[in-house]
């Protein structure tokens, strides 16, 4: 394993610096002088008072550090393989590390992942977890924002080392260095190590579980884009099927969701403007087709769907199919998710499918994505892009054998990712397991009305903050298999709480307020 070599090298140098036999904590400022390893630089080390470090919050405000910290930042040079550290490496990863002062440290170490094309450090998630007492690090994924580029060009994609670092390796490049620095600061190894990421960060989570199974005791991999090469084909499929007369306005999409909710909301016995399990909802979209001679809109409001819109919606629900083999390329979208489809119609294919097809799959900046052949070109994405950007090996036996635990959350109304992919991948993982099916090491929590990595404006009354660590930490540290997960923080400001259940269970109403998670049981 590459990272063992790398970690040993880092530790050897650190041990030499820290020669006394009984380790003693060292000051924040002296970490600046530590020579960590070839290729690694500590660039800043600052003691920060409580409330003196401000980062953006998820909702557009700011979050401050609740207690003092040692704030470190630095860089790591890595080589052409996208992994090996080298002082003369051509590529630079930047990282930050928040170390709570000892009195506020919970003994746990965490690395957070990236989103989208990375290029910047997710200080929002870092600060959120820091305030719980974790020593938290994050990286830019192995390339700078400048290399992440714009909607038409991303230079990191044409650099194979940076491309491999992005999803597969940047966490493994970062972790040994930052964990060694934390160990020096506290004069003790962290008791447990966690990884926390969503979206691209979810893909990075599955990559470390598969490629670097010894790095973390617990992994949170939310809304994982771990089949990236096909995720972008799903974006492209949805966009191409909703162009021209197939396009659906926001009003038309709202119309569909309203009708779907009217048909399926109460299936779980609770009228809450929400479908608990969309796979149990049988809704025939053709029932919304305009009668002959009827106009699709009346005074600007959608009253029915044109034949082309019905076909388009059917294509989005179905997901891309290989036109040669008929096989699924990626799953489709769920009933009740329609309100969020405008992103599929107008944006995602440009930002992701177009760039990756041009720069990675076809290596042709003039490639016309409308000509992508969903039969003969799929194998090209598989052979060229998949080995660089996917993490879809279902054999996680090394991670399982070392006692690792992994939790995925996935919103049923995610505007980006077709929601059933994490379920399909879970089934692949379980099929690949050699050990007792009854001993769990991975759980998927589906979120009714959940968006991409949190809340969606399509369901503002649905709590969008998932208490992942309250499930993952006791599982890792005490062997307590989680049976439920609390979610809070609805963006409409109401105080509803909800119960999320490990797949294949759903939250079943028992008694009491429908907005109180204790009124439900997982079954
Ligand atoms: C994107 O970046 C490339 C390379 O730097 C540049 O040539 C191009 O004009 C930029 N496009 C936009 C839309 O900014
Ligand atoms: C959509 O419009 C095209 C022409 O632009 C036409 O060929 C096609 O039949 C239309 N589709 C439907 C379902 O009406
Ligand atoms: C992509 O095309 C350029 C020429 O346009 C070539 O120099 C480069 O080697 C190609 N890259 C790959 C990975 O084939
Ligand atoms: C791209 O391909 C489509 C489908 O073949 C064609 O209609 C369109 O004109 C092409 N666009 C460009 C810019 O060549
Ligand atoms: C939520 O707020 C309502 C009204 O303010 C209150 O009656 C209810 O007890 C609260 N529920 C919870 C779970 O806090």
| Token representation of residue 516 | 């109180």
Is the shortest distance between the CB of 307 and ligand 2 below 6 Å?
yes
Question: Which residue CA neighbors atom 6 of ligand 1 most closely?
Answer: 153
Which protein residue has the closest C-alpha to ligand 4 atom 6?
A: 370
CA distance 223 to 316: 18
Contact in structure between 368 and 361 (CB atoms under 8 Å): no
- Cβ of 366 less than 6 Å from ligand 4: no
CA of 517 from ligand 5 middle (Å) equals 12
CA dist 18 and 15 (Å) reads 5
- Rg for the chain (alpha carbons), in Å? 24
What is the CA(354)–ligand 4 centre distance, in A?
A: 13
Q: Compute how many other C-beta atoms are within 10 angstroms of the C-beta atom of residue 217.
A: 23
CB 117 within 8 A of CB 140: no
* Nearest residue by C-alpha to atom 14 in ligand 1: 150
371 Cβ inside 6 Å of ligand 4:
yes
Cα–chain center distance at 517: 25
Compute, in degrees rounded to 10, the torsion defined by CA atoms 125, 129, 135, 140. -10
Distance 483 CA to ligand 2 centre (A): 50
User: What is the rounded distance in angstroms from the CA atom of residue 188 to the CA atom of residue 75?
Assistant: 23
Cis ω on the peptide bond leading into residue 504 (within 30° of 0)? yes
Check if the beta carbon of residue 111 is closer than 8 Å to that of residue 175. yes
- Please name the residue that has the structure tokens 């610096």: 17
Beta strands 192-198 and 108-112, pairing class = parallel
Residues counted in the chain: 523
User: Looking at ligand 2, which residue's alpha carbon is closest to its atom 13?
Assistant: 308
Decide: 392 and 211 in contact? Cβ < 8 Å: no
- Taking each helix axis as running N to C, give the angle between helix 307-318 and helix 228-241, from 0 to 180 degrees, rounded to the nearest 10: 170
Candidates 381, 414, 456; CA nearest to 225 is 414
Looking at residue 438, its pLDDT comes to: 67
**Distance in Å, CA 239 to ligand 4 centroid:** 14
pLDDT at 7: 46
Instruction: Tell whether ligand 2 has an atom less than 6 A from the beta carbon of residue 243.
Output: no
Closest residue by CA, ligand 4 atom 8 = 370
The CB of 18 under 6 Å from ligand 2? The reply is: no
- Gap between the Cα atoms of 232 and 225, Å rounded: 10
Q: Which residues pair with 91 in a beta bridge?
A: 78
Q: Distance, CA 151 to ligand 1 centroid (Å)?
A: 8
Helix (H/G/I), strand (E/B), else coil: 45: strand
Distance (Å) of CA 507 to CA 125, 140, 204, 458, 464: 28, 37, 29, 21, 16
| d(C-alpha 8, C-alpha 6), whole Å | 5
Predicted pLDDT at 151: 77
DSSP state of 340: G
Q: Are 400 and 441 in contact (CB under 8 A)?
A: yes
Nearest CA to ligand 2 atom 2: 245
Q: Which ligand is nearest to the CA of 152?
A: 1
pLDDT along the chain (523 residues), means of 10: 45 47 82 90 97 94 98 97 93 98 98 97 98 98 91 89 98 97 96 98 98 98 98 98 97 98 96 96 98 96 98 98 97 98 97 96 96 98 98 96 97 97 97 79 98 96 97 98 97 96 97 97 98
Q: Which atom of ligand 5 is nearest to the CA of 516?
A: 13
Q: Give SS3 for 5.
A: helix
Which atom belonging to ligand 5 lies closest to the Cα atom of 495?
A: 1
Q: Phi, psi at residue 137, to the nearest 5°?
A: -125, 155
* Tokens describing residue 151: 């909607």
pLDDT at 489: 95
> Is ligand 2 within 6 A of the CB of residue 289?
no
Alpha-helical runs (H) found in 86-144: 123-130
**What pLDDT shows up at residue 213?**
98
Question: Which residues form the pocket of ligand 1, taking CB atoms under 6 Å from any ligand atom?
Answer: 149-153
- What's the CA angle centered on 498, arms 253 and 338, to 5 degrees? 10
- Reported as half-sphere exposure (CB side, CA atoms, 13 A), residue 132 has a value of 14
Are the beta carbons of 494 and 479 closer than 8 angstroms? no
Question: What's the pLDDT score for residue 15?
Answer: 47
Distance CA 248, CA 145 (A): 34
Strand partners, 507: 522
Query: Locate tokens 């590529």: which residue?
Result: 91
- Ligand 5 site residues (CB inside 6 A) read 495, 497, 516
- Reference 302, options 338, 337, 274, 333; nearest CA is 338
Q: Please name which ligand lies nearest the alpha carbon of 149.
A: 1
Instruction: Report the C-alpha gap between 41 and 35 in whole angstroms.
Output: 7
């Amino acid at each position: 394993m590459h990272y063992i070599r790398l970690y040993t090298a880092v530790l050897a140098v650190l041990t030499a610096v820290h020669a006394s036999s009984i380790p003693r904590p060292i000051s924040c400022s002296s970490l600046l002088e530590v020579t960590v390893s070839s290729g690694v630089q500590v660039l800043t080390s600052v003691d920060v008072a409580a409330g003196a470090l401000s980062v953006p919050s998820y909702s557009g405000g700011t979050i401050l550090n609740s207690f003092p910290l040692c704030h470190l930042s630095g860089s790591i040079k890595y080589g052409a393989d996208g992994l090996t550290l080298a002082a003369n490496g051509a590529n630079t990863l930047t990282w930050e590390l928040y170390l709570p002062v000892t009195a506020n440290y919970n003994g746990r170490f965490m690395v957070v992942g990236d989103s989208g094309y990375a290029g910047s450090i997710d200080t929002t998630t870092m600060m959120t977890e820091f305030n719980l007492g974790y020593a938290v690090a994050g990286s830019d994924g192995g390339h700078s924002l400048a290399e992440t580029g714009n909607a038409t060009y991303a230079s990191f994609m044409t650099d194979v080392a940076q491309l491999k670092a992005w999803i597969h390796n940047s966490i493994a490049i970062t972790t040994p260095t930052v964990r060694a620095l934390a160990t020096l600061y506290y004069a003790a190894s962290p008791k447990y190590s966690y990884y926390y990421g969503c979206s691209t960060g979810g893909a990075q989570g599955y990559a470390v579980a598969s490629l670097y199974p010894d790095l973390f005791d617990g992994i949170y991999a939310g809304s994982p884009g771990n089949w990236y090469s096909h995720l972008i084909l799903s974006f492209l499929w949805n966009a191409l099927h909703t162009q021209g007369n197939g396009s659906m306005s926001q009003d038309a999409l709202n119309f569909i969701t309203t009708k779907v909710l009217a048909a399926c909301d109460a299936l779980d016995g609770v009228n809450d403007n929400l479908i608990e399990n969309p796979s149990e909802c049988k809704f025939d979209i053709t029932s919304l087709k305009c009668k002959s001679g009827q106009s699709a809109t009346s005074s600007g409001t959608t009253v029915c769907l044109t034949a082309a819109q019905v076909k388009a919606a059917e294509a989005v629900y179905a997901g891309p199919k290989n036109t040669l083999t008929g096989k699924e390329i990626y799953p489709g979208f769920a009933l009740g998710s329609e309100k969020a489809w405008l992103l599929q119609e107008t944006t995602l294919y440009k930002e992701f499918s177009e760039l990756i097809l041009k720069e990675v799959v076809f290596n042709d900046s003039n490639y016309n994505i409308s000509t992508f052949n969903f039969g003969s070109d799929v194998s090209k994405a598989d052979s060229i892009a998949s080995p660089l950007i996917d993490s879809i090996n279902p054999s996680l036996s090394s991670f399982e054998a070392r006692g690792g635990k992994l939790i995925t959350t996935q919103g049923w109304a995610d505007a980006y990712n077709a929601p059933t992919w994490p379920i399909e991948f879970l089934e692949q993982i379980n099929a690949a397991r050699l050990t007792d099916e009854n001993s769990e090491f991975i759980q998927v929590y589906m979120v009714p009305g959940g968006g991409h990595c949190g809340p969606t404006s399509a369901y503002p009354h649905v709590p969008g903050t998932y208490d992942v660590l309250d499930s993952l930490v006791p599982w890792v540290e005490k062997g307590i298999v989680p049976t439920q997960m609390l979610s809070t923080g609805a963006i409409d400001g109401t105080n509803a709480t909800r119960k999320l259940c490990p797949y294949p269970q759903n939250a079943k109403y028992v008694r009491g307020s429908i907005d109180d998670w204790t009124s439900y049981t997982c079954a």
